[in-house]
């Protein structure tokens, strides 16, 4: 089934334009429904009018992606996984980024400290906060009371969603009963335990992981759980390390995604998870290699999984502050893979104060492409400068392309200078433009009535430029001579 059009969605609405959903028209609601900005339940007319029941049911089916989404946890940190429509990002976009769950043993003496650290961890990068999405509590003790206690502690000290990982059925269900109100993800339903775990999950409205390294068996488990009434299922074809097994793990994940998205197989139409953390139980680690070499192997598997839109991964490394490099690598890759290719990442145009600028401070000019604006700002701060940064609306396009396309032009910069009162903040009329926009300097001097100096091609050179070439008195003298 192809992606529906807004008109197909619109045909199932009541066309009253009531605005109860927060949209001005039903057509706007139809468009936003396709973009996941609203859900069918936001249309109160469909939900409350019994006469609309058939249309509502049709609309839910029509608007549902081929890979269902699953919710884990509750509250502000609730995690949405899966729910994808395409195999490859460039075909449309990926909607829900790979969730990163960090593994903690139930007998870890630092459990509470580690959980608090992971909960509060937020790394600012390119205008976004990179965060951990959940905690996987692994039953190492083999003791039901210990596992229950650890699960309860997690929910008390952390708002992160929890995955309970235990293959002992009695221990798993005992801990799940302890924290069921926090909607933990149950790991796992196997060929031996699926019925008991499945019934418990259905009765308590909990998501459940079906596990098997045999894809046919995994599909059978999925079908059986659905017959029990389970609607939130996560599929795990198991993560296997060792010679040749990386390719096997990769292939299994892709087969599941293809079955769900291209073939619309009802038994495969669920989020997929991977366990890079399994490295530490499958590979001999007392082989003389340094710790980081083993961690690197785990990272490679995690990176591969992220690159093919695996819905959730569990990591062992990175939960200690000294191993932050592990999470930095995985989070940075995730941020790149899950950016929307249809949308230029933009920053708001305006005049930004960096540090504590004065009347003598320099004015740097850049575009409002976020991945240009933020590095420039960081480099100005890194140079310990008090300055102004004039961000010009270039339609979210970077300097070089925007200069070529006309979005970053002398006229646009001059308009921004006037709109944001740049020269009202300083006692000079000097603008520093990027080296990639050098050809605009002559026209900009006329348009903005300014003296324009060409800065470095890359913002990493700002510190050196300001130290060696920034001569405001000399520049203003030249400006005044030219005006005469």
Instruction: Give bridge partners of residue 130 from the DSSP assignment.
Output: 123
333 burial via Cβ count (<10 Å: 0-12, 13-18, 19+): middle
Contact 247, 240 (CB under 8 A): no
Break the chain into its structural domains and give their ranges: 6-63, 69-337, 350-483
What CATH topology corresponds to 350-483?
Answer: Rossmann fold (3.40.50)
pLDDT tens by residue, 304-332: 999 999 999 999 999 999 999 999 999 99
The pTM assigned to this predicted structure is: 0.87
- Give the whole-angstrom CA distance, residue 197 versus residue 275: 20
- Regarding beta strands 162-165 and 185-189, do their DSSP bridges make them parallel or antiparallel, or are they unpaired? parallel
- Give the whole-angstrom CA distance, residue 346 versus residue 80: 25
CATH superfamily of 69-337: Dihydropteroate synthase-like (3.20.20.20)
- Give the whole-angstrom CA distance, residue 274 versus residue 268: 15
Tokens of 390: 């004039």
**From first to last of its 484 residues, what are the pLDDT tens digits of the chain?**
678 999 999 999 989 999 999 999 999 999 999 988 998 999 988 888 888 889 999 998 999 999 999 999 999 999 999 999 999 999 999 999 999 999 999 999 999 999 999 999 999 988 889 999 999 999 999 999 999 999 999 999 999 999 999 999 999 999 999 999 999 999 999 999 999 999 999 999 999 999 999 999 999 999 999 999 999 999 999 999 998 899 999 999 999 999 999 999 999 999 999 999 999 999 988 888 899 999 999 999 999 999 999 999 999 999 999 999 999 999 999 999 999 998 888 999 999 999 999 999 999 999 999 989 999 999 999 999 999 999 999 999 999 999 999 999 999 999 999 999 999 999 999 999 999 999 999 999 999 999 999 999 999 999 999 999 999 999 999 989 888 7
Three-state DSSP state, 134: strand
CATH class of the structural domain 6-63: mainly alpha
């Amino acid at each position: 089934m192809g992606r529906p059009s807004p008109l197909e969605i619109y045909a199932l609405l009541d066309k009253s334009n009531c605005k109860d959903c927060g949209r001005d028209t039903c057509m706007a609601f139809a468009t936003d429904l396709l973009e996941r900005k609203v859900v069918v339940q936001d249309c109160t007319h469909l939900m409350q009018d019994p006469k609309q029941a058939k249309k509502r049911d049709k609309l839910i089916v029509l608007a549902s992606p081929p890979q269902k989404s699953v919710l884990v946890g509750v509250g502000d940190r609730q995690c949405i996984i899966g729910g994808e429509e395409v195999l490859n990002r460039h075909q449309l976009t990926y909607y829900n980024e790979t969730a990163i769950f960090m593994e903690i043993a139930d007998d870890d003496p630092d459990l509470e400290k580690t959980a608090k650290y992971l909960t509060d961890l937020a790394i600012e990068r390119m205008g976004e906060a990179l965060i951990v999405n959940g905690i996987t509590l692994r039953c190492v003790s083999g003791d039901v009371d210990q596992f229950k206690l650890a699960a309860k502690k997690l929910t008390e000290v952390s708002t992160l969603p929890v995955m309970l990982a235990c293959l002992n059925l009695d221990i798993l269900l005992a801990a799940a009963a302890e924290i069921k109100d926090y909607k933990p993800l149950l790991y796992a339903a196997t060929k031996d335990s699926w019925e008991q775990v499945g019934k418990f999950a259905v009765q308590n409205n909990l998501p459940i992981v079906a596990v098997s390294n045999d894809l046919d068996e995994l599909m059978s488990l999925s079908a059986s759980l659905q017959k029990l009434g389970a609607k939130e299922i996560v599929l795990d074809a198991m993560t296997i390390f060792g010679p040749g097994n990386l390719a096997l793990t990769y292939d299994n994940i892709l087969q599941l995604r293809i079955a769900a998205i291209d073939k619309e197989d009802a038994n495969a139409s669920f989020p997929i998870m991977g366990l890079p953390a399994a490295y530490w139980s499958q590979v001999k680690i007392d082989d003389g290699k340094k710790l980081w070499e083993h961690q690197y192997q785990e990272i490679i598997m995690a990176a591969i999984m992220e690159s093919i839109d695996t819905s959730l991964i569990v990591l062992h490394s990175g939960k200690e502050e000294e191993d932050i490099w592990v999470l930095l690598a995985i989070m940075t890759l995730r941020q790149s893979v899950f950016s929307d290719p249809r949308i230029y990442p933009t920053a708001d145009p305006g005049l930004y104060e960096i540090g504590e600028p004065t009347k003598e401070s320099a004015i740097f000019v850049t575009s409002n492409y976020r991945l240009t604006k933020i590095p420039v700002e960081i480099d100005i701060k890194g140079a310990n400068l008090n300055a102004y940064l004039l961000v010009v609306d270039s339609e979210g396009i970077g300097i070089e392309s925007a200069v070529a396309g006309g979005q970053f032009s002398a006229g646009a910069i001059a308009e921004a200078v006037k709109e944001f009162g740049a020269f009202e903040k300083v006692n000079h009329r000097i603008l520093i433009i990027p080296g990639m926009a050098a050809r605009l300097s002559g026209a900009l001097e006329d348009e903005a009535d300014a003296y324009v100096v060409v800065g470095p091609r890359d913002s990493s050179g700002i510190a050196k430029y300001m130290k060696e070439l920034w001569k405001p008195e000399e520049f203003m003298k030249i400006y005044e001579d030219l005006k005469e």
